[in-house]
Amino acid sequence: MYDAGCNFPFGLEWFAAMYVSCWLMKAVGIQMKLEFFQKKFWTASRQCAALDGKCSISCDDENINCYLIDNNGFVLVAEDYTLTGKFFGEAEGAVMSKLLQMGSFKRVTLYDYQALCWAFSESSDSGHTLLDPYFAFFSAVKWILTELVIFLVEFNLYSWWHSDLTAKAQRIGRSMQVPCDTEYPAFISERTIKENTGNVDCGGCVKSFVIQQIPSSNLFMVVVDNKCDCSMFEPITMDPIEIMYILYWQTNRELGVIE
């Protein structure tokens, strides 16, 4: 469990199924602090199978970025600690786009039928104003002030209507959260692909990357070349989108999804 951009002491939990017999299954797991886990990861990333123990490529190199992500694309470890818990596509939109094209990850659409969306409201509903004891008082004050303004305007109509110093007042609405349905993307790794490499053409340069699954886990290590600027690619986010049902049914009917 971890939080986006979190500070410590958030922790991680691992669980695994264990078959005691043909009909009995139990679950075992461990829990550790995120800070401790990250230190262990950086230590392990510096160890290689070479005779001298040195790595030809190291995460300490300022020209590469190393990430540890899970099978849904969320960052567990990154050199930038503010990326912890965030979706990998927000940090590396170009690389995530390529991973989707290569089939290392696939996108699925999920729905939230109990979401809250922000809506702009010009005024409150009538039922609320009738039950509000202060509404009658403020309505009376508003009426008195309106009559007073009209009385004053009648003495100098021309200057009020043709003055260059006047500004048109605008009613300020307010935002409120209302129940709605939303859809949002989710991403799942292709478990049959254990390792993959790729290049992303970013116009004037090419960004290279390597992704490899960590054995006996749902985690992947991603090493990305950061010398190439790929800001031309938009970040891939998991932001929810409100379902507008009139447009939703019309669009799907035109596409032949529904009849």
Longest dimension (CA), the chain: 98
159 in any annotated domain: no
Q: What is the CATH number of the domain that holds 231?
A: 3.30.450.20
Q: Could you list the beta-strand ranges (E) of the chain.
A: 11-19, 25-33, 64-70, 75-78, 105-121, 174-189, 195-201, 206-213, 219-225, 241-242
The pLDDT of residue 223: 95
What is the domain range of residue 248? 11-17+27-116+186-254
Count: domains in the chain: 1
The verdict on residue 165 lying in a domain is no
Alpha carbon of 242 to those of 50, 143, 195, 257: distances in Å? 53, 40, 36, 19
In-domain check, residue 60: yes
Length, in residues, of the chain: 259
Q: Helix (H, G, I), strand (E, B), or coil: what is residue 198?
A: strand
- Where are any strands of DSSP class E within 20-165? 25-33, 64-70, 75-78, 105-121
Contact 187/92 with Cβ under 8 angstroms? no
Q: What pLDDT band is residue 53 in, cutting at 50, 70 and 90? A: low
Higher pLDDT, 180 or 16: 180
Could you tell me if residue 150 is inside a domain? Answer: no
pLDDT in tens, 69-97: 999 999 999 999 899 999 999 999 999 99
pTM of structure: 0.65
Question: Is 151 domain-assigned?
Answer: no
Kindly state whether residue 162 falls inside one of the protein's structural domains.
no
What is the C-alpha to C-alpha distance for residues 84 and 70, in angstroms, rounded to an integer?
11
Residue 52 is assigned to a structural domain of this protein? yes
- Which pLDDT does position 201 carry in this prediction? 94
Per-residue pLDDT, 64? 92
